[in-house]
Structure 1
Amino acid sequence: MGSHCSLQLLKGAKDEGFRTLLVCEKRRLGLYRRFRFIDEIIEVDNFKEVLSDKCQKRLKQANSVMIPHGTLISQMRSDEIEKIDTPIFGNKWILRWEADRKLKEKLMKEAGLRIPRTVKSKDDISGLCLVKLHGAAGGRGYYLAWSRESFEEGARRLIDQKMIRGEDDLYIQEFVRGVPVYLQYFYSPISAEIELLGIDRRYESDIDGIGRIPA
């Protein structure tokens, strides 16, 4: 799907000798047609068309394997993703956990990872918090809250922008001061090895300096 990390995925697949296919919204065609490592493009008005019989048929004819990324999760419900007939690389059932922050929190706790404390209610806010939307929205709609009132003000703004239906669509987490290092790695259960692929910044519940905290 033409967004998020699709260029990296397509370039890597081409380098490995695979034929590449991109499902692309018409408004983004000008960008993706510039890259020679994209062999075929399926044009759609919006990504929901991936669910249509017509699109699924074309993907099947091309013997495609879909590589999921954040846009798939942000554009479709979990039950819609699970109904896609095209084979999906990896475990498509885990994407339900990726789309729900409470399930993701459960997964990380079971893995023994240290994570920022979840604030269960706006009435429990006692310090600086980061308020998030569920799913993979790339940080869209996040805001800081330090009281019940500031939480409600931010929620009303998102409701007015039609980004959420109500306060129940929000997830509150304590704000942790620290260095926002985002490690990208791949673990192979075949060779039992972990390969570190890269490091970048990712602003979630931590931040790289107290100077960024608003007065």
Structure 2
Amino acid sequence: MSISERQRPGTASYRHALYGLALPSNVLRALQKRGIYCTPGISLEHQHLARRYVLRGVESGGAVSDMGRACAFVAEDGSPLPWLQPIHSIAVNGRHAILLAESLVRIEMLRSERTWELAITLHTLSSVPERGRPKIVSKSHFRGRDGVLPVDLWKEENRELRGKLAPTFYSRAGEVLSFPPPFEVAIRKITAAVCCVGCKHTHVGVPPMVVVNHVTEREQPA
């Protein structure tokens, strides 16, 4: 997979694809002040027993009434990924689960009251000639700025609407931007995540499948 001209190393589009939303320092300070911790970074890990490389991501984030930020990961076809392990913590609005896969689609969202930002990026592995260690190739799928959603999903009376709605984003010319169809469900779920006040659970990642008495079942969260 190649990176388009607009996403070559050193360009703003490439940095957004690799690292996610580029947030100003005042926004990062505001998130820290509110105790919202989101870790959108993706790392390359080597599984020695399986003799392969994988990508590692962490579903994380949460919200308070006036602000929210969250990051989650899905497969290339938009289907949810099973986590390697959930993360239980006394603190809220932080890390929720670790996920591993050979390719990941990262969905990252920021909410500032009723204004929204969204970045969707694909991350895959690409072999490097004469090297055993592959490199991470990142590509932007969607970038939405200054989105609007006139419903206060963080309020308890609107709790039932979480997971059913998503912000609307417009082009500079005022035209509605369509979401990539495979990721519409995940976008609605991440919208719920940035409205989940005091979040302590995953919204997109799912429990792994386990075999019990020769019957495959979905592991239930603790």
Shorter-chain TM-score category?
under 0.3
* Structure with the bigger percentage of strand: 2
* Greater Cα radius of gyration, structure 1 or 2: 1
Q: TM-score, normalised by structure 2?
A: 0.24
